[in-house]
């Protein structure tokens, strides 16, 4: 059961130098197995830093994180991450990007083809399998990124503003697809976003962070029933949560 725990985690960039910058301060969180949690907070409050540490890309200066009780130390394929920046490999076609993870672990040609077909379709890029990333728009590249992580089938999905570059319709479709996938697989999802509506629509729980240093300001439980429908976006309960969180993010 993929449960992530964050214990007394603090992080300072450039510790013991004049330019030291404390980004995260004493963060304590539990992400239960199969839960969907969003993190919101102003720009620069340390959301990406927190996510990268959970992925195992670097070590916090204090405290620790555990996955099912084991301290996270280094990267592995159990925690997949969609980066805020464009991370599609430009030297691989769309299909080869998507099947990159399974190929690393020696998937056969047939298995790769099957994975490619399934996930390219899932992220709505059918017909673009053999294109180079330079031939795609920014939003399409983001979808390749997402497909590549989905296709790798991690237990925990760390997503750093994955839908930020998409137009409203594609975004809503990707959100519904994400919920569908999550429903089928019950992965633990940790989702960073600037979009409150997106956070409310998707999550069981929303973590609001404050900046400099990054601390947890508030945790909002979202009790809207599942499966979530697009119509819920206009219900008063939904809008109440939005208003409340909006006020917290203001000042």
Partner 1 sequence: MKNLLRGRLFLGALSITTVLVIYVVVTNQPDNNPSLLPPISLIIGSFFTNLEAGTLLDALSASLFRIFLGFLCGTTAALVIGCLVGWYETVEYLVDPLIEAVRPIPPLAYIPIVIIWFGIEEFSRVLLISIACFMVCVVNVIAGMKNVPKVYVDAAATLGASRIQIFRTVAIPAATPFIITGYRIALAAAWTTLVAAELIAAPNGLGYLLQEGRRYFLTDQVMMIIVIIGVCAFSMDRAFRAIQKRLMVWSEARE
Ligand X SMILES: Nc1ncnc2c1ncn2[C@@H]1O[C@H](COP(=O)(O)OP(=O)(O)OP(=O)(O)O)[C@@H](O)[C@H]1O
Given the rule CB under 6 A, which residues bind ligand X? 13, 21, 23, 43-49, 84
End-to-end CA distance of the chain: 39
Residue 91 interacts with which of ligand X, partner 1, Mg ion, none, CB < 5 to 8 Å by class? partner 1
Nearest residue (CB) to ligand X, 52 versus 228? 52
List, in sequence order, every beta strand (DSSP E) within 117-221: 156-160, 188-192, 205-210, 215-221
Which residue is nearest to Mg ion, using beta carbons? 48
Q: How far apart are CA 121 and CA 140, in angstroms?
A: 12
Q: How far is the CB of 99 from ligand X (least distance, A)?
A: 29
Q: How far is the CB of 226 from ligand X (least distance, A)?
A: 27
For Mg ion, which residue of 22, 33, 84, 181 counts as binding (CB under 5 A)?
A: 84
48 touches Mg ion by CB under 5 A: yes
Nearest residue (CB) to ligand X, 48 versus 99? 48
Can you give 26-91 as a three-state secondary structure string? EEEEEECCCCEEEEEECCCCCHHHHHHHHHCCCCCCEEEEEECCEECCCCCCCEEEECCCCCCCCC
Q: How far apart are CA 220 and CA 102, in angstroms?
A: 37
Q: Give the x/- contact pattern for partner 1 in 155-194, rule: CB under 8 A.
A: ---x------------------------------------
Q: How far apart are CA 48 and CA 162, in angstroms?
A: 12
Which residue is nearest to ligand X, using beta carbons? 48
81 touches partner 1 by CB under 8 A: yes
For partner 1, which residue of 101, 147, 162, 213 counts as binding (CB under 8 A)?
A: 101
CA 101 to each of CA 54, 68, 145, 149, 151: distance values in angstroms, whole numbers, following the listed order: 19, 23, 12, 8, 7
107 touches partner 1 by CB under 8 A: no
For partner 1, which residue of 21, 33, 42, 56 counts as binding (CB under 8 A)?
A: 56
Coil, helix or strand at residue 208: strand
Q: How far apart are CA 72 and CA 52, in angstroms?
A: 11
76 touches partner 1 by CB under 8 A: yes
Which residues sit at the interface with partner 1, rule CB under 8 A? 52, 55-57, 75-77, 79-81, 83, 85-87, 89-92, 100-101, 104-105, 132-134, 145, 148-149, 152, 158
């Amino acid at each position: 059961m993929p449960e992530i725990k964050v214990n007394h985690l603090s992080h300072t960039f450039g510790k013991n130098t004049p330019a030291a910058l404390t980004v995260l301060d004493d963060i304590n969180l539990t992400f239960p197995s199969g839960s969907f949690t969003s993190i919101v907070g102003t720009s620069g409050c340390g959301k990406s830093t927190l996510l990268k540490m959970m992925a195992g890309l670097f070590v916090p200066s204090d405290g620790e994180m555990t996955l099912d009780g084991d301290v996270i130390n280094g990267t592995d394929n159990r925690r997949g991450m969609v980066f805020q920046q464009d991370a599609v490999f430009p030297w691989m076609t769309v299909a080869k990007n998507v099947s990159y993870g399974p190929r690393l672990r020696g998937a056969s040609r047939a298995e790769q083809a099957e994975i490619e077909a399934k996930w390219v379709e899932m992220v709505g890029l059918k017909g673009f399998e053999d294109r180079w990333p330079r031939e795609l728009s920014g939003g399409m590249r983001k979808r390749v990124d997402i497909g590549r992580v989905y296709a790798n089938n991690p237990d925990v999905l760390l997503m750093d503003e994955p839908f930020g570059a998409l137009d409203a319709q594609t975004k809503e479709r990707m959100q519904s697809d994400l919920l569908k996938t999550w429903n089928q697989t019950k992965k633990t999802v940790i989702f960073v976003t600037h979009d409150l509506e997106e956070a409310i629509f998707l999550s069981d729980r929303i973590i609001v962070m404050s900046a400099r240093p990054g601390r947890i300001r508030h945790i909002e439980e979202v009790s809207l029933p599942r499966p979530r429908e697009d119509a819920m976006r206009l219900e008063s309960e939904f809008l109440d949560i939005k208003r409340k969180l909006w006020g917290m993010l203001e000042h």
